[in-house]
Amino acid sequence: MTTLSKVSSSLILGKWTQRLLEAILLGGQLVPHLLKGKIHLRNTIDQMVVAGPESLLITLVTALFVGMVFTIQVARELINFGAGSAVGGVLAVALIRELAPVLSGVVLAGRVGSAFAAEIGTMRVTEQIDALYMLRTDPVDYLVIPRVIACCLMLPILTIIFLLTGLAGGVLIGTYLYHLSSDTFLDSVRNFIQVWDINKAMFKALCFGALIAIIGCNWGLTTTGGAKGVGQSTTSSVVTALLLIFITNFFLSWVLFQGTENTFFQGV
């Protein structure tokens, strides 16, 4: 039994690695396809609606409670140290640098990335992808590029909305629970946040959006095994997207925020 488990684990890991390499190759194909300018506008708009407006409610609810919980955790400690005026700034820095882009990406991966894998995976097992080839339609142009564009455009917008909603939740808790002045709270936000912080958050969100779309589409395109395979691809795509978001976030944070002298985006 132990040997069978090891063999099964090796096969699963090997298949996952192969799919990841195929996702990297798919990402490399996007640039020449985009340079051709063959963008299906209607399909792109439909995917933008799915990735943006239809994901707005869950993003607002998540952001509101994240902002409130973070304020509860931080405000009392800062007030005890006599730094109550910095509560808003600390919340703003945490949101714009990490929480807003990462958690917005998590929401989009769970809601939209899984849908991409399920939809395209169903098309694969029902031979609709083969039908596209018969009609001389490239699946990358028709299926992948619209979804990548949609996620890359919508996730930065969702990140800004997440930031504003999280700050609103922080103001609510700070004002009514800890009796902090809303003016002091917002002044602290303005003092702590700089323009390049927003630029860096947008860059992070754009990278996460591309990852989510590419992983979801690739896992769908490589689906095998009928309905069971579609379910497995959907689950695996979400887990992989979340894992890559966290790993990529580490390296992006290391590059963008590693020191006080870092001016990577200050001139943007």
The string of DSSP codes covering 27-41 is HHHHHHHHHHT---H
Q: Taking a C-beta distance cutoff of 8 angstroms, is the pair 46, 54 a contact?
A: no
Q: Which of 104-108, 138-142, 198-202 has the lowest mean pLDDT?
A: 138-142
How far are the Cα atoms of 8, 51, 125 from residue 235, in angstroms, in the given order? Answer: 18, 19, 16
pLDDT in tens, 47-95: 999 999 999 999 999 999 999 999 998 888 888 888 878 899 999 999 9
Check residue 136 and give left, alpha or beta (phi > 0: left; psi -120 to 50: alpha).
Answer: left
Within a domain: 266: no
**207, exposed or middle or buried, with CB in 10 Å at 0-12, 13-18, 19+?**
buried
- Mean pLDDT (the chain) is 87
CA distance 81 to 206: 37
Q: Taking a C-beta distance cutoff of 8 angstroms, is the pair 241, 215 a contact?
A: yes
Residue tagged 């007030």 (tokens): 79
pLDDT given at position 132: 84
Within a domain: 73: yes
pLDDT in tens, 124-177: 998 888 888 888 888 888 999 999 999 999 999 999 999 999 999 999 999 988
Nearest residue to 23 via CA among 219, 242, 210, 231: 219
> Quick one: what percent of the chain has pLDDT higher than 90?
53
- Number of folded domains that form the chain: 1
Within a domain: 38: no
Within a domain: 193: yes
Residue 264 confidence class, pLDDT cut points 50, 70, 90:
very low
Nearest residue to 174 via CA among 74, 49, 61: 74
Helices (H) and strands (E) counted in the chain, each on its own, are: 12, 0
Please, what's the b/e burial string for 127-146 (b: 16 or more CB within 10 A of its CB; e: otherwise)? Answer: eebeebeeeeeebbbebbbb
Residue 7 confidence class, pLDDT cut points 50, 70, 90:
low
Residue 262 confidence class, pLDDT cut points 50, 70, 90:
very low
Which domain range does residue 134 map to? Answer: 23-30+55-250
pLDDT given at position 181: 87
More confident residue, 62 or 6: 62
Helix, strand, coil proportions of the chain in percent (round to 5)?
85, 0, 15
Q: Taking a C-beta distance cutoff of 8 angstroms, is the pair 174, 71 a contact?
A: yes
